[in-house]
Amino acid sequence: MSVLIKGGTVVTADQTLRTDILCVDGKIQQIAEAIDKPGQCEEIDAGGQYIMPGGIDPHTHMQLPFMGTVASEDFFTGTAAGLAGGTTMIIDFVIPGPQQNLMEAYHQWREWAQKAVADYSFHVAVTWWDDSVHRDMGTLVREHGVNSFKHFMAYKGAIMIDDEIMVSSFSRALELGAVPTVHAENGELVFRLQNDLFSRGITGPEGHPLSRPPEVEGEAANRAIRIAEVLNVPVYIVHVSARQALEAVTRARNEGQRVFGEVLAGHLLIDDSVYLDTDWGRAAAHVMSPPFRPKEHQAALWRGLQSGNLQTTATDHCCFCFDQKAMGREDFRKIPNGTGGVENRMEVLWHHGVNTGRLTMNEFVRVTSTNAAQIFNIYPRKGSITVGADADLVVWDPEASKTISAKTHHHNVDFNIFEGMTVKGCASHTISNGKVVYADGKLKVEKGAGNYVNRPPYAPFYDAVQKQSRAKAPTPVNR
């Protein structure tokens, strides 16, 4: 089956032009003006609309076992919801438990993801260290298309790592041509602040942001960045939520260090007043880490995105329903951390970014798709509109509007952090692997249609980095 998109304006990270697009056998076959419709071809009239690369959400957690429960969104419902909002690929996380074999965890997540309806890939977390972890990292890179490894500096007593493990893993990533990614919060400080607040009788959701102030994120981000600097390895800081963490990223980038920063749509638009909601359930529904911050941090994050010091936008999509959040009704430390957003990321960023003049349309494409594809080495297969690229596209109606609500979203969760927000600019059609999977408000998905995407290592760049390091090494002095 072929798909012909006619009459629209193509918008990519670097150009805007009026042209038609023909997709055949899951690939973009032709880009030209006035393409004639071939036989047995589905045609989309994109008049007055934009055609953009499908969104890539580089940070999701579908079906995640976490804090005594399992995220309500699985790989079927989560990827389907993403398609409804124009996101055609996710990069999820394999998170081994303490002492769990990395390969065992990886194969478990691959099994869970077989029901995905859109393309996906995985970062793999390093949660402990021994010779088997060192070996498995090599196997994952060379045989399974993994080129990024996650490091949690938070969640003491569970998946938090110390500096020794981080140095070992960063060093191994450099050898393999992989990128370390980091959840930057000082876990020891968080642990102590949580216990202190609870001992003083602060048990509700308001204790969550108090136990994770911006400074704990700023300290951890700076520490991870400086460790990466010494080892001469690039580093990717996930969900930058605080001005202090952004300043650490910006400072390092200004010094010429290879540092990437990710920001969540929620952190750009929601402030910490949500934790003071008199309805316990609504307040608890916003509990995620890092937490939502005071308004000054949102302004700083927008500037970071506009300046290019933050390159990607994500959601950290990790859904827990009200009854799951209620596990922490008497103790905020036990509220499962996570919120949703994979369906709404592109809508809210268009409305609050493009419609306000904060972002150009081309910048929007860059931060919702192209930059992630380039950083994680799947460009131009993903994140581009070029002949031979995967036919993952979104037809975007800039005049369409909707009011976001848990009553109408496709997420498998009973709350939406953007509840009641009216946005202008939405996906009218989503094409995944050359098939129209969302059109005019209706999903047409097939369980298991999503493909696992291999992401090659960065050998040429890393070879150059290591040569540079050797060139800088001092000559031994004989005494």
- Is 347 exposed, middle or buried (CB count within 10 Å of its CB: 0-12, 13-18, 19+)? buried
pLDDT in tens, 205-227: 999 999 999 999 999 999 999 99
Strand partners, 94: 124
Q: What is the pLDDT of residues 234-252, one digit of tens each?
A: 999 999 999 999 999 999 9
Q: Span 420-448, mean pLDDT?
A: 97
Amino acid at 31: I
Amino acid at 380: P
pLDDT, mean of residues 185-214: 98
pLDDT in tens, 51-81: 999 999 999 999 999 999 999 999 999 999 9
User: Which of the listed CATH numbers 3.40.50.620, 3.40.50.150, 3.20.20.140, 3.90.340.10 matches domain 53-383+453-459?
Assistant: 3.20.20.140
The domain segmentation of the chain, as residue ranges, is 53-383+453-459
Instruction: Give the model confidence (pLDDT) of 451-477 as tens digits.
Output: 999 999 997 545 555 555 555 555 555
Rounded to whole angstroms, the Cα distance separating 320 from 380 reads 35
Per-residue pLDDT at 400: 98
- Cβ-contact 254, 231 below 8 angstroms: no
- What whole-number distance in Å separates Cα of residue 410 and Cα of residue 80? 7
The stretch 172-176 carries a mean pLDDT of: 96
Alpha-carbon distance of 21 to 9, in angstroms, equals 10
Per-residue pLDDT band at 301 (split at 50, 70, 90):
very high
> Is-contact 410 443, C-beta < 8 A?
yes
**433 DSSP 8-state letter:** T
Residues 169 and 180: their CA atoms lie apart, in Å, by 8
DSSP 46-73: -TT-EEEEPEEES-B-TT-EETTEE-S-
Residue range 9-35: average pLDDT? 97
Average pLDDT of 196-206? 98
pLDDT attached to residue 1: 76
Sheet with strand 312-314: strands edge to edge: 55-57, 87-94, 119-125, 148-152, 179-183, 235-237, 259-264, 312-314
Alpha-carbon span 311 to 263, nearest angstrom? 8
Q: By three-state DSSP, how is residue 440 classified? A: coil
Phi, psi (deg, nearest 5) at residue 366: -60, -45
Tell me the pLDDT tens digit for each residue of 309-331: 999 999 999 999 999 999 999 99
**pLDDT value of residue 472:** 56
Q: What is the mean pLDDT of the chain?
A: 96
- Mean of the pLDDT values across residues 167-187? 97
Structure tokens at 14: 């670097």
The answer to whether 9 and 17 have CB atoms below 8 angstroms apart is yes
Query: Has residue 8 got a pLDDT over 60?
Result: yes
For the segment 370-378, the average pLDDT, to the nearest whole number, is: 98
Which residues does 170 contact at the CB level (< 8 Å), separation at least 6? 151, 180, 227, 228, 231, 233, 235
The Cα 402–Cα 421 span in angstroms is 8
Segment 156-169, tens digit of pLDDT:
999 999 999 999 99
